[in-house]
Structure 1
Amino acid sequence: MNRRGKVYGSKEFNIDCKLKERIEENGYNTYASLTWKNNERQMFVALNGKGTPKRGPKTRRKSTNAHFLPIPL
């Protein structure tokens, strides 16, 4: 996630690749940018109904769009 909140793929690890994982009370995980914030608010990785990424400033921790279900391998 870059400083504007756009989620993108990168071949090499850089400062934008650092995410903070949080296990929520409902068993889902959320991922927030460790480096970038928008007006002192965390920006979360979230997908809309069609599966495209939402911009970080429009995401919230409690939104179901930002909840991901971990699958043990």
Structure 2
Amino acid sequence: MQLNQEHFTPECKFKECVFENYYVTYSSILYRQTQSGRAWYIGINRDGQVMKGNRVKKTKGAAHFLPKLIEVAMYREPSLHDVAEQSPPRKTAKTSDSPIHKNSKKEHVLPAPTAS
């Protein structure tokens, strides 16, 4: 089994299984044991070399991998907070010098009655 190929072939398809302890195993979709039908797994020995798929079982430590978290900030879209910081300041309506209270009613002053 060749792990690095230039073109995507059926040999490149693997099934990913996640265990309760967050370890991940990868089994080949194309290759299986001829007699038992057991899947072949990717495994790395103590020296860091790839093991033969028919020699690796899913219960062996050589087949267990811990996934590495990738930096997702490279792919995230900007949030509204980021956009607000980058945008120019907004123009606001000018207010008068008199204090304005929220929910206050404007008082109407009636003219004084004139005697006729």
TM band (smaller chain): 0.7 to 0.9
Q: Give the alignment's TM-score, normalised by structure 1.
A: 0.87
Distance 2:17 2:2 in 1: 18
Counterpart contact for 2:23–2:67, Cα < 8 Å: yes
Count the aligned residue pairs. Answer: 68
Q: Give the alignment's TM-score, normalised by structure 2.
A: 0.56
Structure 2: segments with no counterpart, 5+ residues:
71-116
More helix by share: 2
Counterpart contact for 1:7–1:53, Cα < 8 Å: no
Partner of 2:24: 29
- Give 1 or 2 for the bigger CA radius of gyration: 2
Identity %: 29
Runs of 4+ in 1 over 2 A off after TM superposition: none
Structure 1: segments with no counterpart, 5+ residues:
1-5
Partner of 1:56: 53
Counterpart contact for 2:3–2:12, Cα < 8 Å: no
Distance 2:48 2:65 in 1: 12
Of structures 1 and 2, the one with the larger relative CO (CA 8 A, separation 6+) is 1
Amino acid at match of 1:9: N
